Structure 1
Amino acid sequence: MDERITEHARTLVDWSARVERGDDVVVSVGAGAHDLAVAVCAELGARGANVVTTYASGELDRAYLRAHDGEFAASDAERALYEESDVVLRLGGPLNTTAMADVPGETQAARARAHQAAREARLDTRWVSTVHPTRALAQQAGMSFEEYRDFAYDAILRDWESLAAEMARLKAVLDDGSEVRLVTERDVQPSTDLTMSIDGRVAVNSAASVAYDSHNLPSGEVFTAPYATEGEAFFDVPMTLQGRRVRDVWLSFEAGEVVDFSAGTNEDVLADLLDTDPGARRLGELGIGMNRGIDRFTDNVLFDEKMGDTVHLAVGRAYESNFPPGHEDEANDSAVHVDMITDVSSESTIAVDGEVIQRNGRFRWEDGFEAA
């Protein structure tokens, strides 16, 4: 077994999930993540945790959803499993990244609504999502399998403590700020000019550990929960939603809500997403990528949204970790949380309360930052 798989498992169990003896741990194993699951279970056994494994497959989901009549009931069994768990580890590893492509969007949305209580129970655990490199992911990224493995582990096996210290600088700026303005002005695509309030919110230093209210490995972003959004945004990084490739998404906001939208491809997927529930038309997250170990787009949001020189906005559910104690009920509620990414490496600025903190992908405290 590749030694990096063992190191990945150890990082996940120790740094990310902070597993302790006696913890009840659910390990959700993707169809192609067997080797990582073996390494993770060995690490969990060595720490005296209690383990339940489940199997996750896009092809199983497709078979189930295409045969279903579309009237979904809440899954009490799934909710109870998470309610009795301390930790949930989701090991992604698809064998087919487009397995859900022919499942109607309204069917996927209906199932998401029915499973919202179970999802909330999972989010109340020390949950962490990660991914094991597979040939399907390499194909989606346009890379050889060997090249993709190197890319993935460069992003995952970081000095997370050092990156956390660096990202703390951005967290402090956002915590002290009231308004963020994101602007891109490139001739070959629609411009972005978006203002968002962040007053009263708490930014998360997402350093790949539940100790930082961070639940992805890899991570490497600072995110908050914006509101009162005004303006328009263009997302130039392609993404796969509901098993279908969506490109060139444009959203227009008024009074915090999406009032108009378009997409260059598969616009119907975007429409189904925004129609999931009322909260799906509001932003749940503003995230700024800072993981410079990720150096290219791979059509995998777990990596792409963390890449330095990117900003992502998520429509749908907001995370309670972005709200001070006693204000968690202010979080935008939705059955979905879908990230959309824009490249800010050129002709772009991020300003907080009128002061530019990043220009063309470089923060004001980094070498290469260009003052106005």
Structure 2
Amino acid sequence: MKKFEEQINKYAQVIAKVGLNVQEGETVVISSDIRALELVRAVTAECYELGAKQVITDLSDTDLTKLHINHQSTDTLEEILPYVQAKQDYYLNEKASMLYIHSTSPEALKDADTEKLMAANRAGRQAAAALSASRMRYDQNWCIIGYPSPEWAALVFPDLPQEEAEEKLMDYILKTVRVDQEDPVAAWDAHSKFLKSRAKWLSDYNFDRLKYTAPGTDLEIGLIDGARFTGGGHKNRKGLDIRVNMPTEEVFTSPDYRRVNGTVSNTLPLSYNGQIVDRFKLTFKNGVVTDFEAEQGYDVLRELLESDEGACRLGEAALVPVDSPISNSGILYYNTLFDENASCHIAIGKAYPGPVPGANEMTDEEQDAIGLNHSLIHVDFMIGSKDLDIDGITRDGEIVPVFRQGNWVE
């Protein structure tokens, strides 16, 4: 987008310096659809400016993906080819900094065969399982960001001409990541400080559980004794600050997956691998989804919950006020990276060990014993609204208001 050339270069600087915090001698991997090539080039240049040893561009194309899904058999799609596994293993062993650019339409694969699409996704998750675990321990840097494609922009702004829709979406994305401000790095530092203060307030209570109440939602989520809330960024294995999501407005923790009970309804659509799931409800009993319903994307949700044993259990609980920049914009992005930062959300699947002191050094069995969930998936969905109340219940039984009408209790 020629109009945004200067802002894109500024965006690339924020990604490399604030998101990945690229250091001299590092390997950087950029995974992106070809629709974001302009940003890929700008980030590549910035990473080399910061001293990166090599920048690997791992490009894909949604149109080619659709052709593969349509014409390959399920057996072929489930096969993990040696070069694919070798590539993931190289990224892991190199401790590469991983950048993921979301640019494709959330409906890009809506017409794909669900069974075949899930088979391909399973193979991809299995090949990247060790790399994913390394990222979630922050043993290597990673960051997820967005860039508008024509198809995505048309979904968000269907009444605008294509070029105008792309420019409008780009403008909103740049604001969410503070590139519109004079000093984006300073703006990110101030924002991180605020989120960290909220995380400390919650952590100091060491709540036993959180209780969520809203229309269609009556849910209790048990918390691990001693677990912390985190937000505003993370420390990597070298002790350097990184921001794994840009934008981010959340404060989150990893719950005790065994102590989740009640029902929860989504409040914004879930976009999962090119298909949308909406107007759905999950029922939990002793930490496991025992029943579910969905008006849109029922088969996608079913396949997701059946991905593996941990896919029907919780791995994250995140708090985001409705009075936040993304929410106040009134824009529905149909993209979890953005929509989750407009709404409280929870995630089914793998838990981040980081919020539990010492968990990064535990074995899988030790993590499971304290209630940290394991799965090949980690999928956030939005449950926040102006009608949501959240109470923290201490280990002494005290009820502490945390959210009222969708916002932090002051």
**TM surpasses 0.5:** yes
Question: Residue 336 in 1 paired to residue 367 in 2?
Answer: no
Structure 1: runs of 5+ lacking an equivalent: 366-372
Name the SS for the 2:210 alignment partner: strand
Shifted more, 94-103 versus 232-241: the winner is 94-103
User: Shift of the alpha carbon at 1:285?
Assistant: 0.6
In structure 1, what is the equivalent of residue 192 of structure 2?
A: 164
Which residue of structure 2 aligns with residue 370 of structure 1? none
**1:80: Cα distance to partner?**
2.2
- Tell me, which stretches of 5 or more residues in structure 2 are unaligned? 159-164, 179-183, 394-398
Q: Is the 8 A contact 2:102 2:146 kept in 1?
A: yes
Counterpart residue identity of residue 30, structure 2:
V
Pairs within 5 Å for 1:59-208: 59-66=63-70, 67-68=72-73, 69=75, 70-73=77-80, 75-83=84-92, 84-94=94-104, 97-99=107-109, 101-105=111-115, 106-115=118-127, 116-121=129-134, 123=136, 124-142=139-157, 144-157=165-178, 159-176=187-204, 177-186=206-215, 190-207=216-233
In the TM superposition, residue 121 of structure 1 has moved relative to its aligned partner by 4.7
Q: Structure 1's 174 and 90: CA in aligned 2 closer, same or farther, altered over 3 A? A: same
Contact 2:320–2:341 at 8 Å: present in 1 too? Answer: yes
* Native 8 Å contact 2:191 2:232 kept in 1: no
Alpha-carbon RMSD: 2.4
**More displaced stretch, 32-41 vs 144-153:** 144-153
How far off is 1:276 after superposition?
0.5
More helix by share: 2
Instruction: Quote the Cα distance in structure 1 between the aligned partners of 2:208 and 2:319.
Output: 15
Matched, 1:292 2:305: no
* Contact 2:346 2:380 survives alignment (8 Å): yes
For normalisation by structure 1, the TM-score amounts to 0.88
Q: How far apart are the structure 1 equivalents of 2:228 and 2:384?
A: 24
Q: Which residue is equivalent to 1:40? A: 43
Alignment of 1:351-370 (within 5 A): 351-353=391-393, 354-365=399-410
What is the Cα deviation at residue 99 of structure 1? 2.8
CA distance in 2, matches of 1:39, 1:245: 31
Q: Deviations over 1:30-75 (max 9, x none)?
A: 2211111111111112122121111033333333344142442374
Q: Which residue of 2 aligns with 1:224?
A: 253
> Deviation at 1:253?
0.8
How much has 1:108 moved relative to structure 2?
3.8
CA distance in 1, matches of 2:65, 2:134: 20
**What amino acid is aligned across from residue 218 of structure 1 in structure 2?**
P
How many residues align? The count is 359
Q: Alignment identity in percent? A: 26
**Residues 1:240 and 1:128: Cα distance change in structure 2 (over 3 Å):** same
Query: Partner residue of 2:266?
Result: 235
Aligned counterparts of 1:247 and 1:213: Cα–Cα separation in 2: 32
- SS of aligned partner of 1:20: coil
Mapping 1:48-67, distance limit 5 Å: 48-49=51-52, 50-66=54-70, 67=72
Q: Which runs of 4+ in 1 moved over 4 A?
A: 208-213
